[in-house]
Each structure stands twice: as C-alpha cells, then as structure tokens.
Structure 1
Amino acid sequence: MKTHFIAIGGSAMHNLAIALKDKGYQVTGSDDAIFEPSKSRLEKKGILPGEMGWFPEKITSDIDAVILGMHAHQDNPELAKAKELGLKIYSYPEFLYEQSKNKTRVVIAGSHGKTTITSMILHVLNFHQKEVDFMVGAQLEGFDCMVKLTQENDFMVLEGDEYLSSPIDLRSKFLLYQPNIALLSGIAWDHINVFKTFDDYVEQFRKFVASITPGGVLVYNEEDTEVVKVVENAENYFRKIPYETPEYEISNGKVHLKTEMGDIPLSVFGAHNLLNLEGARHICRQLGVMDEDFYEAIMSFKGASKRLEKVEREDQGTLYKDFAHAPSKVKAAVKAFKEQFRNEKKYGFLELHTYSSLNPVFLEQYDHAMDGLDEAVVFYSEDALKIKRMEPISPDLIKEKFKNDHLKVFTNAEELHAYWNTLDKSQGVFLMMSSGNFGGLDLTK
C-alpha cells in the first residue's frame, strides 16, 4: 500500500509514518519544518523528506491513501492536488480506525490523565509480554515507536483526543474510533479556541460516550461530577464500571498503594496518578490481566514523558517537569507536589503558552492554582501574544485571575532566566509546568 503524509513531521504523524513503514507500506511525506526528535527518527527509517516545503508533484494517482495532519492548512497545494485526483484523504484518527476496525478498540479519553492511563496500560501489557496494537501521545520507556499496527493483534489501545481531526474534518478525533471498551477520566474545559463554551466542550464527550459500540464497556471516574452527568444521561447500551482514588499512604518519600494483597510501592506520586492507576487497572481487567499481575507490573512504571517526570540535573537538585498547562492539570500537579514534598521548600513555575491559557476569559479557570507553594512563578511571552494576534495581558491581571498576590510574573525570557540563575537548586524542590520550554531554559543546569 502506498501512503503519503501531508505534514509528516508532527509528533503523532511521524510515529504513524514509522509504524506503516515497519508494517511494509510504501511511505512518503512532506512538511515545511521538521524538528527533533521527529527528524532523526524519520531519517533513520529512510522516510525523511529530501527538502522542506509542499510539492504537488509528489501527489500521484497511484497513491492509495493521503494522510492529512493538523499542521497543514486547507489551502495546502498537496491537498488540492489530492482532491483534484480524487484520492482517498484520511485524517490521522480516521486512518487509525481503518487500521483497527476489525480489532477490539480500547479508547482512553478525558481532559486530563489520558496519556498517563494509556501509558500505564501499555507498560503493564508490555511487562507481561501481551501483544496489542496501540497509539499513545507520549514517549514511553521500553517503546521505540508510540504507534504499533499489525495484522495479527486482536486489540488496539488508543489515546482518545477531543481536539479536531484535520483541517478539513472538524470532528473531535476520538469520535472516529467507535470504541468497544472506553475510559473517561475527567472533563474540564480546554481548547477554548475551538470549543467556545463549556457546553460545546462537554458535548464532545457526550458524543464520545454515544459512540461506544452496543454492548461495550465504559470505565469512568465517578469522582468527576461532569463525567457522572454524561454517563448517567447516555441513552445507548453499554456496561458501566466506575472507579475512584484508591487508598494509599506516603512513607519515607515513597507512595504505597494499600491493597488486599498488601502495600504496593510505586515509583509515581500524586492523588491524580493514583486515580489514573485505578482506571488503568480496570481497563487491564477487561484485557484479561488479573489484579495481582497488574500490581506486579505497575510497581516499575516511572511515568509517561513530561508527566511529573524527574529531570536529572548536574547538581543533583530535585526538579520535576510536567506537561501541565490546562487549569485542571496545573491544580492536580501542584496538589501532588505539595503532598509529596511536605517538608521541603517548594518552587512552582508555570508557562502560559497555549491560546486558551492566554485568553483573559479562560484565565479565571486558574483561580488558586498555584496556592500553597513557597515560591510561585508564572511566565508568558509578550512576543507570543503578538504572534497569536492577542491583546496584551498585564502581570496584575494574572495575579487577579490566579487569586494570588504573591505570584512572581515574568513576561520576558531573559528576566525569567536571570531570576532562575539566582536560585540555589540544591535547596528545595522545583516543579516546572509547561507545554513550551520557558523561553529556552535549560532545566538540567
């Protein structure tokens, strides 16, 4: 099968391209910019485009499938040529469904926790050498590629994202998967640039639950009131399995899960991660993994990339980075950090980087998000606001919306870096939350 990727360099797209190459497909692609690690990984597989840009001549009538990434625009010249030739054009999730429509599809959805839960499930299955196809949005220890597609595996585990499928398909990605087994971890307003109201956002999850195949299974977080409302109002038939935060304790700086089989020591921390773990356990049960085997495997799970991930520093300082940027994720990460490090001085840094997080209306969702930290810092770039064509935001507005007068607010990367360099990293613990990189800050030094 001959496939062509428009915007092959994306974090998800390049993984799918590699998976198809490994499956024996003929793969080509284009992009106007490709960064690491995508660049090296595509080059290693021999599918890195020879030059950057869009080349309509690459689109030929013998291509079986064109896969269109979100990074491309509706007026992309390669897309126009594909339409002209009448080629089959797939979004990323649409193509994944085509690859898995004859398998049992397990879809992990929710505003927060879905990457970690999917990673936990894959870690457990990998530990016990149970083969499944999968797609997950973060790099996981022990896996070379975060997409796997085979002919023979019976199950496919998919991280289900509520964001748009492609520039020409404005449905939420997870609506294309039609899960046989699903999990819903939580609902907290995000992607305000697409879903203008909270109800618009919740509607995507109502549709997701409605898309579960008849007689399927939904594992859901019963501690989330919005999730419970969606589940209780669903009209389609499926089996409902609720879960909640399990009992645990922290001793000698380590989290111990309290189970019928005794105390289970874990390598992750935070109540939200214990809640994620419980959801993963129920999904693994559906896949034939007994609780005893689940606990045996999960002890060695160190977390998904950039999810409360410990950074190895030259000075041995204690620093964790987290992809947290949405308000619910920031609050969960801060809560976990305060609970884990009760006696240390705690520094929290948050970069407001996304369209939603820089919107004055949405900023109200961050109220008290940084409370309880000894030093709390918020950084956003005035240049980023200009690039996004957004109105300026004052540091005072940030303090007002966060309801925290003690916040240190930086709008200039150089000033942030200067402050960072004054801190003794061997004293205290540091939580760095961003989907960006704090203006190029090196967290290892």
Structure 2
Amino acid sequence: MKVHFIAIGGSAMHNLAIALHKKGFIVSGSDDAIYEPSVSRLSRYGLLPEQNGWYPEKITPDLDAVILGMHARPDNPELLEAQQKGLKIFSYPEYVYEQSKDKLRVVVGGSHGKTTITSMILHALQAAGKDFDYLVGAQLQGFDTMVKLSDAPLIVIEGDEYLSSPIDRRPKFHLYKANLAVLSGIAWDHINVFPTFENYTEQFEIFIQTMVPGGTVFYAGNDEALQKVIAANTSKINKIKYQLPQYEVVNGITIITYKEKQYPLEVFGEHNLLNIEAARNICGELGISTDDFYSSMVTFKGAACRLELLGKNEATNIYKDFAHSPSKLKATINAVKSQFPDRKLIACMELHTFSSLNKEFLHEYAGCMNEADHAIVFIDAHTFIQKKMEPYGEDFVKEAFDMPTLQFYNQPEVLEAFLQQQDYTDKNLLLMSSGNFGGVDLNDLAVKILNK
C-alpha cells in the first residue's frame, strides 16, 4: 500500500505515518511547518519531508490513499490535486477505522479523562500479555508510538470529539463504530465548533448511535448531563454505569480495597479513581480479571502531563497537568487538595485555547478554582495576538472566575519570578495548561523551587 500524508507533522498524523511505515506501507508526506518531537521521530524512520511546503507533484495516480490532517486548509494545493485525480481521501480517524474494521474496537470518549482511561486499558492489556493495537493522545511510557496498527484482533482508541479534517466536519469518535465504549462525562468544550452546550451534547448522543448493535457503553454514574443522554437513547446496546471503588488515602497514598486485598496506587484523585473503574470494566470485557487489573494499576504512573510529578521534597510536591477546561481544572485541584489535606495549594493555570480565552465562555470558569488556597491565572499577552482575539485583563478574569483574590499575570518572566519567590513550606504547587506558560521551563522551575 502506498499512502501520502497532507500535514504529516501533526501529533496524531506523524504517529499514524510511523505506524503504517512499520506495517510495511510506502509512506510519504508534506507539511508547511514541522516541530519537535515530530521532526526527530519522522527523521528516525526516514519519513521527514526533504523540505517544508506543499508539492502537488507528490500526488501521483498510484497512491492508494491520501490522508488529510486537520492542520491543512480546504484549498491546500495537494488536496486539490488529489480531488482532481479522484484519489481516495481520508481523515486520519477514517483511515484508522479502515485499518481496524475487522477488529474488536474499544473507543474511549468523554470531555475529560480520555487519555488516562485509554492509557490504563493499554497498561493492563500489556501486563496481561494481550495482543492489541491502539490510538492514544499522549506519549506513554513503555509504548514507542501513539498509534499502533498490526494484525492484532483488538484496537483501543481514544475517541476525540473534535472535527476529523478540514473537509470532514464530523467529530472523530463518530467514525470508529465502537463495539465497546466508555463515556467519562460531558462538559462543554470546543465552542468554536459547538457554539452551544446542547449542540456539544448532541455529539455524544450521535456517538452512541454509531456503536455496533449489541455493543456495550460504560458511562460515569456521577455525570448528570451524561445520564440524561443515556436515558434518552434508544440504541440496541448495553448501557452500564460505573462509580467510585472502595478506597482510602493513607499518608498521601491512595489505596483501593477489593475483596479484602489492598492495591496502593501511584495516581490519585476521585477523577482518576473513576477513570480506573471505566478501564476495569472494559478490561473485564476483554478477559482480564479484577484482581489482575488492579494489580496492574499499582504500577501505572499516569499519562504524560496528567498530574505528572515534576519533583518533591519533604514539604512540597510540584505537579503539572494538562487541565485547562473548567471541569478538568476543578477535578485536578480537588484531587491534590484531597490527597494532601494538611498542605496548602498554590494552583496556577494558563488560559491558552480558543475556547478558554473566549470572553463569552470565560464565565464557565466561575468557582472552579475556589478550593485552591492561592489561585493564579496566566495569559501570555502574545496569545491574543496569535489567535487574533480581543484582549482583556485582570479585572475581567477575576470577575469571570468569581474570585476577587485571584492573581493574574500576562508576562511569563514575571510569573516565573513570582513563583520562585514563594515560601513552599507545607505547600504544593499545581501548574495546569495545554500550552507552555509562554515558554517557561517547568522542570527547571521545579528544581529551583525545591532547592531554595
């Protein structure tokens, strides 16, 4: 098979390119800009384009498929050439389904926890010696790529609700036709695509309708919006809710108890305990016993940037997390506060995505940082310029978060200096963003704070 990637440098796209290359496909690709780690990883497999840019001459009649990335525009010259030649054009979720339509497909969806639940399932499957393929949205310890496609009978897919490609406006998770599924919850996101909560919620209703008849969806029993969707659905599938397991926190360690046996975890927080139960239910369907599953969770360290421990000493733990939406922010702050009730929490988050920066959406953040002892919001001043959005300042942010004591920064060097100056005795620091805090090196910052 010969395939060409338009916008090969994307996170999912370059991983899919590598996966197909490993499967023996002839892979080519183009992009107008490619950044690390995509550059190094594509180069390692001989897939890095010789030069950046779009080259219609690469679109030859012998291509079996053209795979179109979200980064490309509808008027991309390579796309236009492929359309003119009548070649088969796929979004990457379409092509993942094309490669897995004869497999048992597990799809993990929801507004939060997708990557972690998927990672937990993969970790348990690997510990059990199962043969499986996967697609996950983060680089995982023990896994070379974020995508694997082989002759395995099973594939586990992180089911993103964002759009599939510039010419396919369907959410990605609508394309996988799940046999088994998880829905972790519904909290409004991607408002540039789904302008109302009702419109966003509808995507999950449609997802359930795309499932294979007779399949099973496991859903979070604590989510009201999700329960309404499940109750209204008439699809001929099994609908089973999951809830928190029996657990306790002892000396800063979360321990699950099952049939009088204890399983100490490296991850923590009620949201992660719910994630574990979602993964446990799926793994039970895949032939893994509850004891074997919980035993594997003892060594699960979490997905990258999901409550990732940057460093610690006797008085302080410093974490970074991908949290950026209101529901994720609230759950992550609650997790750290619950795990360390005797320590105060300095919580610092960056508003970075289009949705989170939108003035009309910002009030969705009201109250979400209230559990923090010291709340900080950062917006890189350049972000408004890059995204061509109307800027706003401290007063508007405080009003939207409904938190007069909140501190606001818009210059990374000022934020970094402030964080270094704080007294962290019996305090934890939580850094939350889907961006990079204006280029602040968080690992270096953690070292400086802990070595004061």
Distance 2:424 2:402 in 1: 27
| Superposition pairs of residues 10-409 of structure 1, within 5 angstroms | 10-151=10-151, 153-312=152-311, 318-409=317-408
Question: Post-superposition shift, 1:401?
Answer: 1.1
Q: Deviations over 1:86-143 (max 9, x none)?
A: 1100001000000000111110000001110000000000111111111000111110
Q: Deviations over 1:158-206 (max 9, x none)?
A: 0001000000000000000010111111000000010000000001000
Q: Secondary structure at the match of 2:372?
A: coil
Distance 1:150 1:316 in 2: 47
| Contact 1:9 1:35 (C-alpha < 8 Å) held by counterparts | yes
Letter of the 1:203 counterpart: E
| Contact 2:311 2:319 (C-alpha < 8 Å) held by counterparts | no
Identity of paired residues, percent? 55
| Contact 2:9 2:33 (C-alpha < 8 Å) held by counterparts | yes
Do the aligned partners of residues 149 and 426 (structure 1) sit closer, same or farther apart at CA in structure 2, a change above 3 Å counting? Answer: farther
| Contact 1:315 1:425 (C-alpha < 8 Å) held by counterparts | no
Q: Secondary structure at the match of 1:439?
A: helix
Distance 1:214 1:86 in 2: 33
Letter of the 1:379 counterpart: F
Do the aligned partners of residues 129 and 156 (structure 1) sit closer, same or farther apart at CA in structure 2, a change above 3 Å counting? Answer: same
Question: Post-superposition shift, 1:425?
Answer: 5.5
Distance 2:371 2:233 in 1: 38
Distance 1:120 1:162 in 2: 20
Q: Secondary structure at the match of 2:439?
A: coil
Q: Deviations over 1:249-307 (max 9, x none)?
A: 11011001122242211110100000000010000011111101101111100101111
Q: Deviations over 1:207-240 (max 9, x none)?
A: 0011111111111111111111111111110112
- Aligned pair count? 444
| Contact 2:177 2:210 (C-alpha < 8 Å) held by counterparts | yes
Do the aligned partners of residues 39 and 313 (structure 1) sit closer, same or farther apart at CA in structure 2, a change above 3 Å counting? Answer: farther
Give the TM-score of the pair, scaled to structure 1. 0.97
| Contact 2:343 2:427 (C-alpha < 8 Å) held by counterparts | yes
| Contact 1:351 1:438 (C-alpha < 8 Å) held by counterparts | yes
Question: Post-superposition shift, 1:424?
Answer: 4.6
Distance 1:23 1:40 in 2: 20
Distance 1:425 1:81 in 2: 58
Distance 2:368 2:187 in 1: 14
Q: Which is further off, 361-370 or 200-209?
A: 361-370
Letter of the 2:197 counterpart: F
Q: What is the aligned partner in structure 1 of residue 2 from structure 2? A: 2
Letter of the 2:74 counterpart: Q
Distance 2:252 2:197 in 1: 38
Give the TM-score of the pair, scaled to structure 2. 0.96
Do the aligned partners of residues 219 and 358 (structure 1) sit closer, same or farther apart at CA in structure 2, a change above 3 Å counting? Answer: same
Distance 1:46 1:222 in 2: 47
Q: Secondary structure at the match of 2:47?
A: coil
Question: Post-superposition shift, 1:345?
Answer: 2.7
Question: Post-superposition shift, 1:392?
Answer: 1.7
Do the aligned partners of residues 256 and 313 (structure 1) sit closer, same or farther apart at CA in structure 2, a change above 3 Å counting? Answer: closer
| Contact 2:307 2:332 (C-alpha < 8 Å) held by counterparts | yes
| Contact 1:313 1:443 (C-alpha < 8 Å) held by counterparts | no
Q: What is the aligned partner in structure 1 of residue 419 from structure 2? A: 420
Please, which runs of 5 or more residues in structure 2 have no aligned partner? 445-452
Letter of the 2:171 counterpart: S
Q: Which is further off, 295-304 or 427-436?
A: 427-436
Question: Post-superposition shift, 1:421?
Answer: 3.0
| Contact 2:350 2:378 (C-alpha < 8 Å) held by counterparts | yes
Q: Deviations over 1:339-397 (max 9, x none)?
A: 11211231111000001101111111111111122221100123211222211212111
Distance 2:305 2:441 in 1: 15
Q: Deviations over 1:299-350 (max 9, x none)?
A: 1001011110111479996211100001110010000011112112311110
